[in-house]
Amino acid sequence: MKKTILKRLGLTKLIAAFLLIGISTACSDDDAVANLGDLQVQIELASGLSDISLDGIEITATHTVDNSILSLTTSADGLVTFSNISVGTYTVIASKSTDDYTLSGTANNITVMKQVTTTAIVEVNAVNQDGGLVIKEVYSAGSGYITLFKDAFVEIFNNSSETLYADGMYIANLFGDTGVSGDTALSTVLTDDTYVYTDVMSQIPGVGTDYPVEPGKSIVIALNAVDYKEGSANPDGELDNTDATLEHYSIDWLEAQGRSGNSFFEFDNPAVANMTNIYMFDETNFFRLGTASASVVLVSNEAVFSDSDIVDYTEPGSTSTFKLMKISIDQVVDGVDILDNSGAADYKRIPASVDGGFTYVNADGAISYTGLSSRRKIDEVASARFGRTILLDTNNSTVDFEAIDFPDKYGYNN
């Protein structure tokens, strides 16, 4: 009897031991499962964006404690699921780059809980890859007998989604005949197409943050910050340039060099800051008055110029030599080639690697005193996609620019 009881006790202990092992194993399994959860990430486009694929967006989830990183790529519905990941708090980042734009978005402090599927919505915005400062408009044709060309201006537009600073950038009027009968193509004399050549160049002043250009906004650099409407018999046909950001004034600068300025074409408005003069071959104004077809380039503020960059230009059969400043095309941020007429392709002043085409304000020339202006077009597709005004920038003035009947200063400002 005693033996039987002992046997029974031994069996009971054995059963208890198995139960204890089973319970321990179950608890261990439960703990392992309990410390894992799922994270589902859904991508949404920021307000105003459309026609942007949600496929192929890289999603990274970074654990905020141990900095471990998980990564997946979205399907066409913009959805990914991180299954059975450690509980805790995560930072989720979405990113994708294409030739046209960069998508990015972040969701912070996303908590993954035990045996629960947590959903995080990440809103992504798009930045235009090619965004930057571009030449929006060049007006140099002149509006009439009294005003002549004195109301000329260049407008610079911010094509990006962030505030940019124009401080230190250069504006250069490119030298060269424009396609009138008897003209000489600049490229037949100065054959190095890694440069453009200027006879008038000035620089935007400032130390880095003095001339901000907000997204979708512009700054205007006028020859004269003068109200030409005042006292005019035709005020609707004249410009008020007193709203210019900067004006070009060179008389004092020229006289300091022992040269003579031209007070007939230049006036100093003390209420508007002056551009910094860098180079001027002739005592002329901002644009070359003989043509009114003003090809212009916007040059990086990192460019540096010296006397070693000055080259001689003499047309075949001429005894007159022009001294021009050369500008490396690597330093050209943007440019527009404006020639005399629709058949003037041989007279391009800007190499095709920078500007594949050219524009003109009148197909058969005859542009002086017409009030016509060269304006960059709106990129309707990109503007709809990014929800803001974006201007065409295909590096081809034929495509990007159009002639308009009267200047549209600040016309695109959002």
Give dist(CA 15, CA 9) in Å, integer.
Answer: 10
Give dist(CA 273, CA 57) in Å, integer.
Answer: 46
The reported pLDDT for the residue numbered 278 is 95
- For residue 317, list its beta bridge partners: none
Residues 292, 297, 299, 304, CA torsion sign: negative
Note the residue count of the chain: 414
State both tokens at 173. 């009027």
Map residue 412 onto helix, strand or coil. Answer: coil
Task: Spell out the SS3 assignment of 367-393.
Answer: CCCCCCEEEECECHHHHHHHCCCCECC
208 close to 335: Cβ distance less than 8 angstroms: no
Please provide the distance, in angstroms rounded to a whole number, between the alpha carbons at the two ends of the chain. Answer: 101
In 145-256, DSSP assigns E strands to: 153-158, 164-165, 170-174, 195-203, 212-213, 218-222, 246-247
The reported pLDDT for the residue numbered 100 is 80
State both tokens at 364. 């058969």
The reported pLDDT for the residue numbered 149 is 86
- For the whole model, what pTM was predicted? 0.78
Residues ≥6 apart with Cβ < 8 Å to 169: 133, 156, 203, 204, 298, 299, 300, 301, 333
Backbone torsions φ then ψ of 229, nearest 5 degrees: -70, -35
Give dist(CA 182, CA 59) in Å, integer.
Answer: 62
Q: How far is CA 336 from the centre of its chain?
A: 15
Question: Which residue, 332, 366, 377, is CA-closest to 169?
Answer: 332
CB-facing half-sphere around the CA of 303: CA atoms within 13 A: 29
Exposed / middle / buried, residue 240 (Cβ in 10 Å: 0-12, 13-18, 19+): middle
CA angle 158, 162, 168 (to 5 degrees): 60
Strand (E) or helix (H) holding 280: strand 276-280
**Cα dihedral 143→147→148→151 (10° resolution):** -70
pLDDT digits (tens, 9 = 90+) for 37-65: 999 999 999 888 888 999 999 999 999 88
328 close to 297: Cβ distance less than 8 angstroms: no
Give dist(CA 132, CA 123) in Å, integer.
Answer: 24
* Residue ranges of domains in the chain: 35-128, 133-404
Strand (E) or helix (H) holding 30: helix 2-34
Residues 226, 174, 154, 257, CA torsion sign: negative
Q: Which CATH number fits domain 35-128: 1.10.8.60, 2.60.40.10, 3.40.50.1000, 3.40.50.970?
A: 2.60.40.10
The reported pLDDT for the residue numbered 33 is 58
The reported pLDDT for the residue numbered 55 is 95
Q: Which residues of the chain have pLDDT under 50?
A: 1-21, 23-28, 32, 286, 288-290
Q: In this structure, what DSSP letter does residue 345 have?
A: G
pLDDT digits (tens, 9 = 90+) for 182-226: 899 999 999 999 999 999 999 999 999 999 999 999 999 999 999
298 close to 171: Cβ distance less than 8 angstroms: yes
